[in-house]
Structure 1
Amino acid sequence: MLYAIVDIETTGGYAAANGITEIAVFVSDGEKIIHRFHTLLNPVYTIPKYVAALTGITNEMVEYERPFSSIADELFEMLSDKIFVAHNVNFDYSFVKHHLSQSGYELNCKKLCTVRLGRQILPGAPGYGLGKICKHLGIEIEDRHRASGDALATVQLFHHLLKCDTNGHVQAMLKTKSKEQFLPPNISAQAIKKLPQQPGVYYFHDKKGKVIYVGKAKSLANRINSHFSNNKPNRQKQEFLKKIYNISYKTTATELMAFILESIEIKKLWPEQNRSQKRFEQAYGLYSFEDRKGYIRLCIEKKKRNIQPLYTFNLLTEGHNLLRKLMHQFELCPKLCFLQSENISCQLLAEKKCKGACEQKESVEEYNTRVAACIDYLNNELPSFALIDFGLQQQEQSCILMEKGRFYGMGYLPSDITIQNIEELKFRLTPYAENDYIRGLVYQHAARYPSKKISLNN
């Protein structure tokens, strides 16, 4: 078995928008080096000053060096039938694979990470960064932060790990179904294997334990594994690989509960790697205002920052449907609700379903009394219901509660309980902060699965 121990220097942290400035490859049989390859490269991209200060490789040094494409053929032949070894292997492999792909070569070889191997074979070391582990083992790095010096030190480290591997960690990592080749260097494969197939919410933690990402899953095991099942060269992927030190999770009985809990946790923890729900807001709102004649008018408009809507909607049609329902229920004028053009005669007036506020045949006081009743209905009389589904265990059921049109909370109930009123139910559930996104999820689910919905008296 032959190993290609690789180290590269780059212009930045992810392959999709950065180049390789230097590469070193030492081919080993596990005991000695049998082939060496080392070269500077013109990365095409500009080398940032801080990178030049770290590596000593400047733009002037590589200006007339050959590009990566000129070594692609030789490099592919050198690597394609070897085990790719590196310290934090996913970083080096992502760059080499990406740039080989840009040159028309698809690299697919097994990988070994000396960080992960070090944690397994040499537990209790003071650290597993290349500098710390080499210092601990007495391995001298002659040219630090340069490809050749770091690669040669990695060779010596790897040979030492092979000699100390009495429990077969290397072979276990090379197995086809092993997750060791794909996981970030600080995540235990054993922890990944213990993940359940249940729905739930998962948390990625950084070195200090802070949550940097929250996600939801229909199957926690499948979803978390999908984050590490490929090695995309984009920025977000590489940031994940660098920053994730631990994973925790909370199981839920249903996927809907996972969706809700994810939204709650994102709003509460505000993780740096989450994007979507930080800015989510319902697009439309139902507003009221008094016109110049004193009539209170209802209208659907795009949400305004500084005005609190009576109700919110994601779709304009959803808002219009509710407003039409309220218009008929409280005998409101379609023209004063902006559901009919001002330029034509009031349709409901002709049908004697409008009392004439649009033509000032009804007093301001009488009309506004009904509008006030309509607004009071929105505030107090919107539907209260529970969504009942299976629980985490056989003898329980899950429950999501909507009270007066707003999300109250969720939790688990004994399967033999009879739901009689809201107050009794609220005592058994965990209340959570509501937002428009959660409310929309619950309403959509209730409409899709009416058999799970139990209406409750307010």
Structure 2
Amino acid sequence: MYAIVDIETTGGHASANAITEVAIFVYDGLQVVQEYHTLVNPRMPIPYYVQSLTGITDEMVAEAPGFENLAEDIYGLLHDKIFVAHNVNFDYSFLQHQLAAHGYELKCKKLCTVRLGRKIIPGLPSYSLGNLCRSLQIPVLQRHRAAGDAAATVRLFELLLQRDTEQAIAGALKVGSKEQFLPPNLPPEQVKQLPANPGVYYFHDQKGKVVYVGKARNLRKRVNSHFTGNNAGHRRQEFLRNIYSISYEITGTELMAEILESVEIKRLWPVYNYAQKHVEFNYGFYTFEDQDGYLRLAIEKRRKYSNPLHVFKLLVEGHQLLRNLIRKFDLCPRLCFLQKGNGACLPLQEHTCHGACEKKEPAALYNNRVQEAIDWLQQQQPSFVIMGHGRGVDEQSCILMEKGRFYGMGYLPRDVAVTGSDQLKDFLTQYPENEYIQNLIRLHATGKAARLLPL
């Protein structure tokens, strides 16, 4: 027995909105055997744009019963039926949420006439209820009213039953069928073909644009986890409605998936990724030669696509490290931008600066000490590779940290011995780094299971 349902609401998600109208047609596979239709007092104002869409006004529902007075009857109609609706998760989430608020736990098998329409009658230009009914010459009386749309859905479902030569409906009702929980616009074949490997997955909208990037130890399990549960919040419901396709990239290890996820979030800036989209105000050491030929060390905000000598999160960290370099290598604080003004620098008076700020020391001598400071700084930063599983038995994965900086990652044949970073780079893809990636790699490198090779 089927319960073919349509509702009207005050908004698009159940957690902060309410139902204004419910229509339920109980259908036995041959005919409608029971009809239920009522306006519902939502106990909140109906937004004007919703009033103009549905024609349901605050005045119309003022004397209607509240859902608390209808919950028992609605639950009695639904709980032992197969719940059928156009974009079923919308109607189901509202009714399940409202029933739960009044002590009823709704658990039904579901059928979505959007998904079934795509499968049984492929190739139509649109599968919205209005367009689908126009394509199939199904009359719709009172569009955007619960009774009118539910009656049209009954006609549509009858037609789908008649044309279902491949048993799509029976397949959707099988235990464990993805049709029960997948978003309405996502082909189940794309979910079924997902591998159980580590990797990165991409959710695309109707135009093919990436709207979410995620990483997984097991791509199949992780993607499926997005569609389980019954969160009725606006963000989740909108997210599910906008998933039309999935693509993915397999990685050798979960760490590589985490790194690639971070890179792709920064590159694509997907609308539904909220983590890792904050701006990182990192700083770095930069060097340049001034008009007089002296090498300058400067602290600046890290620029996109720049290549700083060293990076740090807080400006105070950079100042502390730069002062240490000045003391250790007799550098001039004026040429390092730590002292302003036109007079002699303080270390010159203390004989720890050799006069570069007043051009008393030749640029070549001063520059040698700057280069020594740079070399010392880079020597303090470790170079190593993290080896791991490849995407197949014939390869191994490799992540390269060079002088404290993430260079990139990739795959090399399993029989290739690692001898140095230059040899590895032919096999690796270079990626931009960020603080999140650096922390991931450092944390992994200190773990007991890490296959770490110092360089």
* Bin of the TM-score, shorter chain as denominator length: 0.7 to 0.9
* Distance change (3 Å), C-alpha of 1:160 and 1:95: same
1:312 and 1:436 in contact (8 A); partners too:
no
**C-alpha deviation, 1:61, in angstroms:** 1.9
Q: Deviations over 1:246-287 (max 9, x none)?
A: 0100010100000000011111111111111110637x8688
* Distance change (3 Å), C-alpha of 1:156 and 1:450: closer
2:8 and 2:20 in contact (8 A); partners too:
yes
Answer with 436-445 or 214-223: which moved more: 436-445
1:48-447 equivalences under 5 Å are: 48-279=47-278, 281=280, 311-312=310-311, 363-364=352-353, 373-374=372-373, 376-379=375-378, 382-447=381-446
2:284 and 2:302 in contact (8 A); partners too:
no
* Distance change (3 Å), C-alpha of 1:420 and 1:80: same
**C-alpha deviation, 1:130, in angstroms:** 0.8
Hey, what's the Cα distance between the residues in 1 that align with 2:432 and 2:447?
A: 24
TM value normalised by structure 1: 0.82
Hey, what's the Cα distance between the residues in 1 that align with 2:160 and 2:451?
A: 57
Answer with 386-395 or 256-265: which moved more: 386-395
Equivalent residue for 1:35?
34
Hey, what's the Cα distance between the residues in 2 that align with 1:58 and 1:435?
A: 53
Identity of aligned residues (%): 53
Hey, what's the Cα distance between the residues in 2 that align with 1:129 and 1:447?
A: 53
Hey, what's the Cα distance between the residues in 2 that align with 1:101 and 1:33?
A: 27
Equivalent residue for 1:24?
23
Hey, what's the Cα distance between the residues in 2 that align with 1:373 and 1:436?
A: 26
1:205 and 1:211 in contact (8 A); partners too:
yes
Hey, what's the Cα distance between the residues in 2 that align with 1:85 and 1:443?
A: 51
**C-alpha deviation, 1:154, in angstroms:** 0.2
Hey, what's the Cα distance between the residues in 2 that align with 1:374 and 1:236?
A: 51
2:133 and 2:139 in contact (8 A); partners too:
yes
Hey, what's the Cα distance between the residues in 1 that align with 2:17 and 2:373?
A: 60
* Distance change (3 Å), C-alpha of 1:174 and 1:153: same
1:205 and 1:213 in contact (8 A); partners too:
yes
Answer with 3-12 or 159-168: which moved more: 159-168
Q: Deviations over 1:301-329 (max 9, x none)?
A: xx9799x997556799xx79xx79x969x
Hey, what's the Cα distance between the residues in 1 that align with 2:203 and 2:314?
A: 33
Hey, what's the Cα distance between the residues in 2 that align with 1:4 and 1:133?
A: 20
**C-alpha deviation, 1:128, in angstroms:** 1.5
Instruction: For 2:169, give the aligned amino acid.
Output: V
Hey, what's the Cα distance between the residues in 1 that align with 2:98 and 2:377?
A: 59
2:51 and 2:57 in contact (8 A); partners too:
yes
Q: Deviations over 1:9-65 (max 9, x none)?
A: 111111111111111111110111111111111112322222111111122222232
2:190 and 2:245 in contact (8 A); partners too:
no
* Distance change (3 Å), C-alpha of 1:238 and 1:381: same
1:195 and 1:220 in contact (8 A); partners too:
yes
Q: Deviations over 1:87-121 (max 9, x none)?
A: 01001000110111111111011100011111111
**C-alpha deviation, 1:166, in angstroms:** 2.2
1:276 partner SS: coil
Hey, what's the Cα distance between the residues in 1 that align with 2:124 and 2:449?
A: 58
Hey, what's the Cα distance between the residues in 2 that align with 1:200 and 1:171?
A: 33
* Distance change (3 Å), C-alpha of 1:71 and 1:314: farther
